């Protein structure tokens, strides 16, 4: 299933696991009209994109799990924000000025900046334009994600959402400065509120067995998607995954590096193990 805003790749033989993989920030369809609105060049505007994460997790359907991937870029609409997280500093005509830390930093549903605080626009976009993007991109993506998790809950008695992201290498430099082993992967469950401890431990073990150094909730504990879709008391679990970009890409040129294939192979092995979690009735019992 393809739309202007996302691709949904279903397993050829039908779903065999309660796990859903999603990549909301790997979209790279930068239209000429959008680029013309921006003051950034074609490379700079991609700096907050989770480049190639959809490719890293492309094997998920081979193991019976659907893969939902954004096509619209994060700089255009951020699917990991609430539809009401509107920023008056970039949207003209807003009557209310509700704010939170994400909006204040320019990272609302219509972002004002990309990495390092670089402004996307020289001025503002209209409220009508912002609402059109949300209607055409945000709502269809979340309708699809809601449908997938609801269907899995009905079919398997549970849903496990793996929300796939990447993180700048510099985001984890503090670990090295503190003399702590720098993680390759950060799992976020909002400190236990979006997934059961049993499910999180099994997912962590799947990555650890592939040689990844894994940490939990630091420096990323999960944002809008895991907050909204994680309801462990209802057997609906959501875990955010952040992968160190330096593992597989050159962050300056936004190109795969020499380690891309090796990272993809290791992640595919982890995917195989994670999808097996969603086939085990013991997982459901442990999560209760």
Which whole number is the average pLDDT over 240-257? Answer: 97
Flag whether pLDDT at 211 surpasses 50: yes
Distance CA 138, CA 115 (A): 21
288 band by pLDDT with thresholds 50, 70 and 90:
very low
% residues pLDDT > 70 (the chain): 94
Flag whether pLDDT at 285 surpasses 90: no
**pLDDT value at residue 2:** 53
C-alpha dihedral (131, 136, 141, 142), degrees to nearest 10: 40
Lowest-pLDDT range of 47-51, 113-117, 174-178: 174-178
**pLDDT value at residue 174:** 74
Distance CA 93, CA 101 (A): 21
C-beta separation of 238 from 195 below 8 A? yes
* Residue 162 region by backbone torsions, left for phi larger than 0, else alpha for psi between -120 and 50, else beta: beta
In the structure encoding, which two tokens stand for residue 164, read together?
Answer: 């796939």
Q: Please, what is the average pLDDT of the chain? A: 93
Q: How many CB atoms lie within 10 A of CB 35?
A: 13
Which whole number is the average pLDDT over 123-138? Answer: 97
User: Residues 15, 16, 22, CA angle at the centre, nearest 5°?
Assistant: 55
282 band by pLDDT with thresholds 50, 70 and 90:
very low
Domains of the chain: 6-77+158-287 (3.40.630.40)
pLDDT digits (tens, 9 = 90+) for 76-120: 999 999 999 999 999 999 887 668 999 999 999 999 999 999 999
287 band by pLDDT with thresholds 50, 70 and 90:
very low
Residue labelled with tokens 């949207």 = 91
Q: Which residues contact 184 (CB under 8 A, 6 or more apart)?
A: 212, 213, 214, 243, 244, 247
Flag whether pLDDT at 41 surpasses 50: yes
pLDDT digits (tens, 9 = 90+) for 178-197: 667 889 999 999 999 999 99
Which whole number is the average pLDDT over 51-68? Answer: 98
Which whole number is the average pLDDT over 128-156? Answer: 97
């Amino acid at each position: 299933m393809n739309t202007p805003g996302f691709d949904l790749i279903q397993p050829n033989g039908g779903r065999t696991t309660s796990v859903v993989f999603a990549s909301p920030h790997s979209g790279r369809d930068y239209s000429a009209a959008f680029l013309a609105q921006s003051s950034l060049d074609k490379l700079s505007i991609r700096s907050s994109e989770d480049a190639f994460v959809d490719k890293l997790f492309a094997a998920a359907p081979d193991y019976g799990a659907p893969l939902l991937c954004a096509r619209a870029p994060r700089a255009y609409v951020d699917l990991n924000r609430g539809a009401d997280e509107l920023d008056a500093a970039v949207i003209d005509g807003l009557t209310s000025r509700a704010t939170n830390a994400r909006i204040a930093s320019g990272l609302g549903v219509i972002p004002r900046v990309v990495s390092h605080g670089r402004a996307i626009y020289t001025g503002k976009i209209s409220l009508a334009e912002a609402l059109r993007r949300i209607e055409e991109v945000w709502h269809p993506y979340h309708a699809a994600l809601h449908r997938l998790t609801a269907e899995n809950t009905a079919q398997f008695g549970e849903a496990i959402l793996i929300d796939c992201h990447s993180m700048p290498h510099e985001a984890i430099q503090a670990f090295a400065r503190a003399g702590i082993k720098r993680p390759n992967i950060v799992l976020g469950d909002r400190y236990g509120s979006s997934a059961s401890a049993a499910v999180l431990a099994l997912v962590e073990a799947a990555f650890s067995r592939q040689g990844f150094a894994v940490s939990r909730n630091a420096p990323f504990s999960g944002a809008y998607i895991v907050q909204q879709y994680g309801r462990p008391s209802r057997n609906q679990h959501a875990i955010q995954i952040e992968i160190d970009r330096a593992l597989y890409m050159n962050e300056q040129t936004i190109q795969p590096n020499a380690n891309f294939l090796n990272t993809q192979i290791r992640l595919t092995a982890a995917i195989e193990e994670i999808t097996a979690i969603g086939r085990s009735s013991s997982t459901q019992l442990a999560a209760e």
